[in-house]
Structure 1
Amino acid sequence: MDGDDHDHDSTEGEGGLRKIIHVDMDAFFASVEQRDNPELRGKPVAVGGGGGRGVVAAASYEARSFGVRSAMPSVTAKRLCPDLIFVRPRFEAYREASHIIRGIFRHFTPHVEPLSLDEAYLDVTDDVRGIGSATRIADLIRQRIRGETGLTASAGVSYNKFIAKLASDQNKPDGICIIKPGDGARFVAGLPVRRFHGVGPKGAEKMARLGIATGADLAAKDIDFMRANFGSFADYLYRAARGIDLRPVRANRIRKSVGGERTYSEDISSGAGLRAAMEHIVDIVWERIERAEAKGRTVTLKIKYTDFTQITRAQSLLANIANKTEFAATGQALLDELLPLPMPIRLMGLTLSNLEGAQREERSPDTAQLSLL
């Protein structure tokens, strides 16, 4: 890869441009279930609770075609897809597959940053195996995952993390997408802003009000406009819209917390409604905790009242939260301390923090440089 291929010096690593792969398993939980139970293959499958207060943790592609999505209430999913088959999560099976997959990653590079059980960034700038091409490495990884686990993965190959992650979603399922350094800004320009990591539904709505629908619209705004409208998020958006991401792949990245929250279309005030909301949030957040393999001992409850005032309450235990039941009980205890509520709530959230740190991994010395393509 020669120096004329890139748009910005800021995309360079120590020895030139980085070569980053983002690997994302296809419908991971549901695919494991379909692999292990042939009767589920080709059918709409949701992993999660199928009861009245259950939540979809993951959906097969057959279910997604009906609009079923993760974190969706099970009753909504069933309404969208009456033939939906619910399967209880088996996290041990998912961890076992994830362990094999991470071993495959580390065969090709020590620089692996897992984001969850089913996705990771790999920095293959150093050609540990002398393969000569980041794209070839991505192909070999996908082949080995299929051969050793019976599962499919999609990959994005590019010069930074932001674009590699976007690219891995481009040709799902079982696809690969390569974005060359000279094409990064152009690729981002054509994407809807909702595809940008960190831009949620509310952020996208705000951007729409400002006349911003695509990466190109974002790139047309100067930094002063961005900072005036998006505060601390502005610099990230400004760089991302230009295909720039300076973050390195961190094999020793330490996650600080795992959480989730929900804003309700109707304010909640009753005891039964609060209990249902708590069960819903516990389901969503515990699935994320399991997916991230996080272990922690502090639970924080976040409440936003109907007048938009917000409070948090936290409890730290002497040992890590042992299971979902203890997590739910701790969250409920925090809520009970606030009862009776002074007014209805419009938002509830839970977070697990004080997490155990990840093991550090040593950088591999004396490795050759690698071309992207």
Structure 2
Amino acid sequence: MSVVCGSIGRVRGAPTILHLDMDAFYASAEQAAKPSLRGKPVIVGGLGPRGVVATASYEARVFGVHSAMAMAQARRLCPNAAYLTPRFSLYRQVSDQVMGLLRALSPLVEPLSLDEAFVDLEAGGTEPRVAVARAVAERLRADIRAVTGLTGSVGLAGSKMLAKIASEQAKPDGLTVIEPGTERELLDPMPVRTLPGVGPATAEALRRVGIHTVAETREAGEAELVRLLGRAHGASLYLMASGRDERPVVAERDAKSISVEDTFDVDVTDRTRVQLEVARLADRCVRRLREAGRSGRTVVIKVRRYDFSTLTRSETLRGPTDDPGVVREAAARLIDGVDTTAGVRLLGVGVSGLADYTQEDLFAQAAQAAEAAQAAEAAQAAHGAVEDPERGSGAEVPEPEGPGAPEAAEGSGRPRVWLPGVDVRHAEYGEGWVQGSGVGRVTVRFEVPWSGPGRVRTFAVDDPELEPGEPLPLVRSPESAEPPESAEPPDPPEPAEPAEHPAGTLSR
């Protein structure tokens, strides 16, 4: 723990705004779930040639791997890492536990993502004193470790901006408190990119006039920043550089849109394939829309061509809908107006103009369910796509289909595909995860979060005793007296190398 020690006004008199950021969340969750990977470099993301790193463990970051990096570059920097496909059902399970702990502290919890949130401790009754806030934060960190087995970094300050800066200073697995009166001493020497809303373009515009630090930004004055960046951005940046951030913690962050997209290993030129992929994406988007209890009025498609040029097209409906048929038809009309003959690198479908109700007839929706299932099956039978986890600031990483390793479409004659890292269950050996697959074989390591490193076994990809599994809790519940049948004792000899997966291999 560290305490960063003249004051800049309009922040609270006590550090009662808390920012929590879980440490290397996806990768840490995978290490906690897979005993054989603890202490080893783990990289989670899209495993195809155009995949992007979603999260790298701290062991992988030593080699220069970071989020949003091309997976191909990550493999060059850290070839011996474990490369795993994301498991969002596990991450949501852990996120729900963490958010529950935060909501026990205050009714004002503002989630920013699965692994990050602001908390207004004062709204929850925490006494506005430094020592009391620090004790609450220390207890929270201990509770998170006990409930999930993972670690989080916590920042405490008098404003949201300063609390987030503090949590960055605390990483990994730490607590930083910015006490009242110490804000300027902390902020002034920091690079201007530290401030919210300063991206590469803004930083370059400031650099050209000799502004590099927060102190230099403030000293430039509001008028100069407005001249350089425009009234809204310049005035906001001046307030941030002066430490004045009056944004409240907002309990509900209303999403403006819901979307999904896929990046393909090979540019898609076949028109029928493009149409099938758009239909599949529309159905996935509607599933996510319904899970959120929302409907939407505007359907949007996104197309990135072979030359990286990107275009969007949208159609606004007469009223909000969560009907898969309506969204699919609108997306089909939009893609019909786009020339894709030269090749498509990425496709996306989204819905915006969200509402909490629909104007569709429920019986009409039910009647179209069978049609939606047929379209999904047809799309699955086409050549598969590799999801790209990079979505830009504030966007969600896409979720793979199904609870675990996906099955081939029924009747397609194609073998099952087992992606590295997904959960499986074997009729004889119990719970495990896919270590790699290829040339008709799949290698599985049988272990659970509370066991030692498990044994490795290889099967045919269509072995009838092997099926997709579900993520287990990372921390074993106290009432579980007997170990599950999947928990095998550690196997001392070094296991055989896993078979290669064409989209990315797990290397020990």
Pairwise same-fold verdict (TM > 0.5) = yes
Which structure shows the bigger proportion of residues in helix conformation? Answer: 1
* CA distance 1:31–1:340, shift in 2 (3 Å): closer
Listed as ranges, the gaps of 5+ residues in structure 1 are 262-269, 358-373
- Is 1:40 paired with 2:37? yes
* Rounded Cα–Cα distance in structure 2 between residues aligned with 1:179 and 1:45: 32
* Rounded Cα–Cα distance in structure 1 between residues aligned with 2:135 and 2:188: 27
- Is 1:95 paired with 2:92? yes
State the partner residue of 1:159: 158
1:46–1:58 Cα contact (<8 Å) kept:
yes
Q: Which amino acid aligns with 2:255?
A: R
Q: Which amino acid aligns with 1:40?
A: L
State the partner residue of 2:445: none
* Rounded Cα–Cα distance in structure 1 between residues aligned with 2:208 and 2:237: 17
Listed as ranges, the gaps of 5+ residues in structure 2 are 1-5, 262-266, 357-508
Q: Considering only CA atoms, is the larger Rg found in Structure 1 or Structure 2?
A: 2
Percent identical among aligned pairs is: 40
Higher relative contact order, structure no. (Cα contacts within 8 Å, ≥ 6 residues apart): 1
- Is 1:109 paired with 2:106? yes
State the partner residue of 2:497: none
* CA distance 1:54–1:244, shift in 2 (3 Å): same
Counterparts of 1:1-373 in structure 2 under 5 Å? 7-8=8-9, 10-12=10-12, 19-126=16-123, 128=125, 133-231=132-230, 232-257=232-257, 297=296, 298-301=298-301, 312-315=312-315, 319-320=321-322, 334=334, 337-339=337-339, 353-355=352-354
* Rounded Cα–Cα distance in structure 2 between residues aligned with 1:209 and 1:166: 25
Question: Once the 2 structures are TM-superposed, how far is the Cα of residue 147 of structure 1 from its aligned partner?
Answer: 0.7
* CA distance 1:335–1:53, shift in 2 (3 Å): farther
| Number of aligned residue pairs | 324
* CA displacement, residues 17-54 of structure 1 (integer Å, 9 cap, x when unaligned): 67200000001111110000011111221112222122
* CA displacement, residues 45-73 of structure 1 (integer Å, 9 cap, x when unaligned): 11122221222221111122222222222
What is the root-mean-square deviation in Å for CA atoms of aligned residues?
4.0
* CA distance 1:234–1:147, shift in 2 (3 Å): same
* Rounded Cα–Cα distance in structure 1 between residues aligned with 2:348 and 2:26: 24
Question: Once the 2 structures are TM-superposed, how far is the Cα of residue 203 of structure 1 from its aligned partner?
Answer: 2.4
* CA displacement, residues 250-269 of structure 1 (integer Å, 9 cap, x when unaligned): 112323246799xxxxxxxx
* CA distance 1:123–1:92, shift in 2 (3 Å): same
State the partner residue of 2:360: none
1:48–1:87 Cα contact (<8 Å) kept:
yes
Report SS of the residue matched to 1:154. strand
Question: Once the 2 structures are TM-superposed, how far is the Cα of residue 243 of structure 1 from its aligned partner?
Answer: 1.0
> Which stretch shows the higher mean deviation, 57-66 or 122-131?
122-131
TM-score if structure 2 supplies the norm length? 0.55
Report SS of the residue matched to 2:251. coil
* Rounded Cα–Cα distance in structure 2 between residues aligned with 1:134 and 1:26: 21
* Rounded Cα–Cα distance in structure 1 between residues aligned with 2:23 and 2:204: 28
> Which stretch shows the higher mean deviation, 224-233 or 150-159?
224-233
* CA distance 1:41–1:310, shift in 2 (3 Å): closer
